[in-house]
Chains A and B, each alone.
Chain A
């Protein structure tokens, strides 16, 4: 990894600073682009590199210009680096660790010499959207051009081998969430906690304190006092290196927590009663030529470097200041030993024309034309209010030209704002506002909590909604500030996207003259910072170019998340349930091949599905059908419900009988099918398809709750409560007789389509149905789930001499295909109405009403629908793959829905859909196989290929 000795360039590290975050007792080494660098505990990747004299950290997106440090914060657009297999790490925020391997992104072959920086010289030929204007012809060369464009695309590298880490989520129900842990956030949190609220205080940086951290002695003393107050309140949960990424409906707040040991990132979902938005202000860059050269930075960046990381930002500086922060930066620079060659005071007309220097700032051309050599240019030209969370709460912040920034306008009851986003003033004024806001947030939280509880019956008298009166929140003064966005020259507006003010002006002139169009055309604000640094400057340039005001121009919409969040944290652990039947251990012992069937894992077969089929036809087989949907229906109106949901009649079903039923949706399309039995006068058991179980429950509840709420029916899903076993084959009666007690199994006493309750292998309360999906004599037994494996094993043991063998889903598919039973969803599709599936015998249009009746009446009167039919290829050795199309010339006139080779019949058999003119038995149709070959097949008289009279199942 690391080559050569420790990098010992010119050290920019200063002596100990009063507010520094470094742990100088802990010194270690990490690598940057393969070279070793020293660092202290507490350094960020970029602060350690800056201390070692480095000033270029990436290449820009489009022109591959060298980029250095601009904000020294999470947002710093030039400081995204690759760390191992993690792309786009915020290098000016991420703490460096021993042996960390960091490298530059978007640079080739090296950061110092990037071949693609030749693009800079082509800039004039590459205006915004240049790619829309060229490479159009010849069309066939576009893929080649596209490859070239892709090569220039910036960003880190994803690795296919990156391990999927451990991610978990946390749910929280705080009274108050405070987004932002600067002085205002701290003050608000303390006041809310003192008013009795449970508070979550969330700060993006590694420590609380906001701008106080890089302030003077007085600021540091104030920070210590605030820190003590926070620490004294045990009901404040402090989360640093964490950020509120979104505020969703109902104050559902997402927090990304990055400060947990050994966990990359955790998503906290907080249902907070009130949210206090206190993100402070983001310093805004100034637009002028050369404003992206390494060495040009914001005043807050210079102050962070000096005061937090003890790094000297340069040797000789020019400062453009329009506010107190800039003035303080001048003082800091001088204290740090930087020669401040000139201070341009914008309040007195000072300005910067341009900065020269390829690899880094070399010379500044000041407003008066004077040229000054320097390696550091510091600007303090104003602030952007990060109103993102307010927008997500439905607020439309307004622009105040006197203060040159946005302010909240109308917030909902459960969202408050304090700190710089709400106004200016002295620290004391800010804290007074923050404390009042925090107290009011706590008060409103109490009210919201009481209102929530009011809906819940209380065991005692319950608490009254608090009647306390609102806290008076003082108005914060608003300091005047110059509207400084762009100087006299053009420069970079969006650093992440390499979009200049010139580009925006050009876009406006070409007709992309609204904020949204200009954004989309130039891609300004679409990069990693999502507009937090550049939106206001972009708006100002667009406003200037269109001759409209800032208010008329409006901002583009801030969308969640406020800060990027990893897919891992969002996904959390995978909670997709997997369902197994109680017999699964037995299946695994027998080496069953698993089949994923929705939520269930089932045995597809046990090695030889053909043998399984033969054994069912000859002896007896058992299949685990536990996933079959089972609904327990009770109440006097169940038969009404069944009559309404199924197309067939149910009112005359006697106790002890079962009936096959088909459900259609309102559009007459087949929804589900299954067998339902009447266990008692007001007690039924409904079975559904395995895949349809959840949907049918919802379907029934939907009708019961919305259409017939007065029907007295209780529906209980019991799919998992019973293990279900189908015993099929000529010897199934003999096998069941060996284990069943108290039930006469003779055909006379227990005929086909009947149900009995009894004891099986000593297990009481089992249901036995005599039905036949496979076409053989068969019994389906439903056993309390806990005894499923026991009963299964008992069947295997007691039936050994009868030749009992298990069979899986594949054998069952063949068996039912031989018998011509369709599978909903395979042999029917989203347009198959009842009559098309050949169940006209079941559809009772004389019923007063049932779901789908009008559509079925309509279909019954017409004849144009495709029909489900049995098919046999003339060449019985060919089983056309399912989904093969039935054609006439090039026209599609049907398709194969099910197809298998039947070892019972020793030929291939199919089900399929055909156009009405081909449905007559005996018709020959043409089937096109996927390989393009065509074969012919005969339309059969019945869907069933095996025992169409049903003698075996009834026997």
Chain B
């Protein structure tokens, strides 16, 4: 990190230069009582930008950050219709892993894990990436076979991943019922030590602060209402805060990505499904790894604060509703107790839902579109958060250079017309 990164002055009055975060500075400001400056600036949109990124979640902010930092393109605006990180970035269950099924998927997510591992230092913002290990349970021999398949592909790609048996699982998760007498006995698991959880909001804020330090403009509460396309080229966007002229627009939205692409006249092979999640009250830490069961449609992790975070598979119908259902928490609780029956007195505290853009092959769509200057980074289903850094890095490279980076080449929009689907159904269906 160069010093100049944090010494750049803001352009508007009232903005102090970004302060470096460190234990020493915490101590110094604690003593002096000096306030911390804004993490990112608030300002009015300009009438034009070189690049407009739609969506102020981890994907959009990371794209803007890498555009500015790696490619020197700083005349960038990030627009969001709400507060930043309020969509899928703030509603997911913050699991990071790279133990996918296809070599393309593994390489892509492995790059993301590597970026996440260094993100706290890179952004000077602790994103609390806790690599506590990730267990995907297998309850039948078919699942064991799939886990072995993933492990073999992972190992060939250099990823730490192996199939372990019930005794080792019990050792890692003493609360787990690994006996043979359950309804769905646990036969084994795919164990992925580098997987873990992260503080999702911190990733969003860290990228926002990092982008802002490079003079990227972040505009929350700025809703895109139209995209101007003429002769197959992007000319600008229309928002509730006025029009913005630009020749490059990156769609980094989730839940509404097909609507935004539709504004540019680009159709998306996407269905939007709600995905629900819930947390319990806090208890003292007892669960270290992330536990996932595809058969039971549930995944569980415990935050540093002590809450258990639960997720499941997407609802079986398309909808834009983010309200939770009673049936969801009933089924969820049943499945959690199937795995860990001693938790029956633990109380569920809160439930919520987010929106997932599902594609036919359970893989994202990244790259160019038939409209020149309109780029997409969408279709992130239930696996978008873990890919934030690598998507941002690759999309920034694409927008800056006009060339599609190899790491995302397999995920282009044209694959649906040309029959090159990426087979991640097996690893992504409930595979958090």
Contacts and interface: CB of A to CB of B under 8 A. Distances in A.
A159 B103 CA distance: 41
10 smallest CB-CB distances across A and B, nearest first, come from A155-B282, A568-B344, A564-B347, A570-B333, A125-B30, A133-B21, A830-B425, A571-B334, A883-B149, A883-B148
A624 to B, nearest CB: 18
A164 to B, nearest CB: 4
A881 B205 contact: no
Interface in A901-932: 928, 930, 932
Contact of B326 (A246, A520, A571, A862): A246
Contacts of B202: 132
B341 A130 contact: no
B26 A130 contact: yes
Given A520-B90, A570-B334, 18 more contacts: A85-B342, A127-B29, A131-B128, A133-B21, A133-B23, A136-B21, A157-B286, A158-B342, A159-B342, A506-B35, A516-B83, A560-B351, A564-B347, A570-B332, A571-B344, A882-B145, A883-B148, A885-B156
A521 B305 contact: no
A353 B40 CA distance: 34
Nearest to A267: B330
B316 to A, nearest CB: 11
Interface stretch (B118-126, B239-247, B379-387): B118-126
19 contacts: A133-B21, A136-B125, A149-B304, A154-B282, A155-B283, A159-B342, A160-B342, A510-B36, A523-B305, A528-B349, A564-B348, A567-B333, A571-B336, A571-B337, A882-B148, A883-B145, A883-B151, A885-B153, A930-B148
B21 A134 contact: yes
B405 interface: no
A711 interface: no
Nearest to A169: B330
B343 interface: yes
Contact of B351 (A158, A561, A597): A561
A918 B2 CA distance: 52
A133 B25 contact: yes
B60 to A, nearest CB: 16
Contacts of A578: 183
A521 B38 CA distance: 13
A142 B348 contact: no
Interface in B268-308: 280-286, 304-306
B345 A572 contact: no
Contacts of A365: none
B324 A559 contact: yes
B411 interface: no
A677 B204 CA distance: 59
B285 to A, nearest CB: 5
A88 B345 CA distance: 9
B326 to A, nearest CB: 5
Contact of A881 (B35, B37, B148, B425): B148
A784 interface: no
Interface in A128-175: 130-137, 139, 142-143, 146, 149-150, 153-165, 167
Contact of B130 (A143, A510, A574): A143
Interface stretch (A248-256, A481-489, A727-735, A749-757): A248-256
Interface in B300-346: 304-306, 323-326, 329-330, 332-334, 336-338, 341-346
A41 interface: no
A509 interface: yes
A257 interface: no
A576 interface: yes
Interface of B: 21-23, 25-27, 29-31, 33, 35-42, 82-86, 90, 103, 117-118, 120-121, 124-131, 139-142, 145-146, 148-149, 151-153, 155-156, 163, 174-175, 183-185, 199, 201-202, 205-206, 220, 280-286, 304-306, 323-326, 329-330, 332-334, 336-338, 341-352, 360-361, 419, 421, 423, 425-426
A836 B22 CA distance: 57
Nearest to A517: B83
Contacts of B149: 883, 895
Contacts of B82: 516
A721 interface: no
A892 B153 contact: yes
A859 interface: yes
A830 B284 contact: no
Contacts of A512: 39, 205
A559 B126 contact: no
A561 B348 contact: yes
A528 B130 contact: no
Contacts of A705: none
Interface string A876-888: 0000011111010
Which of A154, A167, A560 counts the most chain B CB atoms within 10 A? A560
Interface of A: 85-88, 124-127, 130-137, 139, 142-143, 146, 149-150, 153-165, 167, 246, 248-249, 252, 254, 264, 267, 269, 392, 506, 509-514, 516-517, 520-521, 523, 526-528, 530, 559-561, 564-568, 570-572, 574, 576, 578, 595-598, 667, 825-826, 829-831, 855, 858-859, 862, 881-885, 887, 890, 892, 895, 928, 930, 932
Contact of A86 (B27, B128, B345): B345
Contacts of A523: 305
Contacts of B127: 132
Contacts of B148: 881-883, 930
A142 B119 CA distance: 12
A149 B302 CA distance: 13
Nearest to A86: B345
Given A127-B36, A513-B42, A136 B121 contact: yes
Given A87-B345, A125-B30, A252-B326, A509 B36 contact: yes
Which of B139, B146, B343, B425 counts the most chain A CB atoms within 10 A? B343
A509 B36 CA distance: 7
A571 B140 contact: no
A135 B37 CA distance: 20
Given A88-B347, A883-B145, A895-B149, A136 B304 contact: no
Given A87-B345, A158-B175, A830-B426, A134 B26 contact: yes
B284 A153 contact: yes
A559 B351 contact: yes
Contacts of A149: 304
Contact of B333 (A139, A160, A571, A831): A571
Which of A87, A156, A246, A928 counts the most chain B CB atoms within 10 A? A87
Contact of A142 (B85, B120, B153): B120
A880 to B, nearest CB: 10
Contacts of B283: 87-88, 155-158
Given A511-B42, A512-B39, A565 B120 contact: no
B156 A928 contact: yes
B325 A248 contact: yes
Nearest to B180: A594
Contacts of A249: 323, 325
B20 to A, nearest CB: 9
A831 B324 CA distance: 32
Which of A125, A158, A576 counts the most chain B CB atoms within 10 A? A158
Contact of B338 (A137, A516, A574): A574
Nearest to A599: B183
A565 B118 CA distance: 39
B326 A511 contact: no
A510 B280 CA distance: 29
B23 A134 contact: yes
Contacts of B90: 520
Contacts of A883: 145-146, 148-149, 151-152
Nearest to B345: A86
Contacts of B125: 132-133, 136
A132 B423 contact: no
Contact of A574 (B126, B220, B334): B334
B400 to A, nearest CB: 27
B201 A521 contact: yes
A269 B282 contact: no
